[in-house]
Each structure stands twice: as structure tokens, then as C-alpha cells.
Amino acid sequence: MTLVSVPRSEAKKLAPGMGPALLRRIRHDPMGAIGLALVLLVVFCGVFAPWITPFDPLKINVPNKFQPPSLVHWMGTDNLGRDVFSRIIAGSRIALTVGVTTIATALGIGLVLGLIAGYGPRWLDNSLMLIFDSIYSFPTVVLGLTVITLLGASISTLTLVVIVIQTPAYARLTRTATLTLKNSEYVQAIESLGASKIRIIFVHLLPNVIGPLLIVASMDIPSVVALEAGLTYLGMGIPPPAPSWGRILQEGFGLIRTAPWIVIAGGIPLIITTLGFTFLGESLRDNLDPKLRRVI
């Protein structure tokens, strides 16, 4: 009997050197190198924020208020005398917590539900798709404001909102990819050998659908960070005195005529985060897609 070759076996042979080769291609890609550097900068600030902030981001020093940018206070001080640069660095930890943690959780849940919907029975697929479409039909900001109004403003509430919003998108993408692979020759060969559905889903289908989702997730992180900043700016996000980037923008907007450097400082990390993850995601797409990959 002739068995159909399974592409995943080849993937196993290439797996050990895939990470270094991908990193090498990203480093040689100008856009990828810039994106990787900006992402590493944000991650470094978020991880080591308590040790690299020059001042306590929560300490009030009223006599020192409205100090313009200088060698001592690189981004000036706000209306309570707090160092804006220290608050920006401390806010990167909140941004990473909300952005990376929620996207990773939504991606994991969406992957599982999408694989089950795509490979499971038709009635289960229709039921899950009805739930996904119902959630996806709500405007993002309206849904976020509704949930936060009911449960109260906090990091946990904001995390819940993002997970609820993002999970259907990842589940739909996973379902579409699973339906495409469901009738492929290598899946049919594995089924004929008596493999269980759970093994087929998590061992043979999952590795073939997760790659594109990781690219989409990397580009969604800045959107989530911007959503957190926007909700906080509207007064519905993370409550004070947490040094959220959105909180810095909200406080700076009311003082834009007196201390314009606060708004500028609050917008810089959002720009850096958006450019970094977007550039890195574009580079990952170019290097992981065989049709777009450039040989280096």
C-alpha cells in the first residue's frame, strides 16, 4: 500500500534551524530590523521599568510642577510635579500587560475554538459561528464602554473586554484555515491510519494554521494598546494614579496650553509601539510566506 507523504515530517527536519534562519532574515530586512529593535525597546522598558525609571512615577512633588524638558527631567513634569519620562517607562509595563497578555489569551482560545469549529460536526460549526458573529457584530468601542460601565474600570475588566473582542477574529481565521486543510491528502491519510480526532487537530492541523495567526496577532498588539489608551483617555480605562499612556494623554490634553510636552510625550510611546509591532509583523509575513520570501 502506498501512503501519502505528510508535509509535517519535512517541517520537523527544518524546525531546529528555522528560528535562527528567520531571525537572520529579519535582521537583514531593514523594516524587520527596525521593528525588532523598537519592540525590544518597549519590552525592555516594560520588564525593567522599576529599575530604570529615574524618578518614582507616582511621587507627587507640587513645587516641581510644569518643569519643561531638561537634562534632569527629559520629558518635563506634569501638574503634580511627577516626572513624565518615568511615567512613560512605567506605563510600558501596563501596555505590555494589556497588549501581549490579552492577545496571547485570545489567540489561544480562538485557536482551540476555530480548530473545533473547522474540524468538528456541522451543527457545532454553525453554533460557534453564530456566537462569533454575534460578538463580532458589536462595535469595539461601544462593547468596551458597555462592559467597563457594568463591571467598573480596572486592568482586569479591560483585559476581559479585549479577549472577548479579539477571540472571534482569531477563531474565524483558524476555522477557515482548518476547513482548507480538512480535506487535504495528508489529513485523509492520517485518518485512514486510525488517528484520533484530538491528535489530528492538535498534532497535525495546529502547526499548519498557527503561523499566519502569529503574524496577525503581532499586528493586533498595537491596536489593543491604542484601545487601552483610548478608553483610558475617555475616562473608562485604567483608573488613576496608574501611569497609563492613555492617562498621560488625558491629563496632558487639559494642560496643552500650559505644558504641551505632556501630550507629545504621551504620544511618542504609542507611535513607537505601533511602528515596531507593525514593521515586525510585516517582516514576519514576508519571511514566513513562501510566495513572498526573499532568499538571503
Residue 171 identity (one-letter amino acid):
A
**More reliable by pLDDT, 167 or 195:** 167
Give pTM, 2 decimals. 0.78
3-state secondary structure of 256: coil
Which CATH number describes the domain made up of 29-288? 1.10.3720.10
Copy the grid coordinates of residue 187.
489529513
Task: Report how far Cα 159 is from the mean position of its chain's Cα atoms.
Answer: 12
Contact assessment for residue 38 and residue 279, using Cβ atoms and an 8 Å cutoff: yes
Per residue in 41-66, pLDDT tens?
A: 999 998 999 899 999 999 888 899 99
Residues 6+ apart with CB under 8 A from 125: 117, 118, 175
User: Do residues 95 and 46 touch, judged by C-beta distance below 8 A?
Assistant: yes
pLDDT tens digits for 191-250? Answer: 777 777 777 777 777 777 887 888 888 888 888 888 888 877 777 777 788 888 888 888
* Domains of the chain, residue spans: 29-288
Spatial separation of the C-alpha atoms in residues 277 and 219, rounded to whole Å? 6
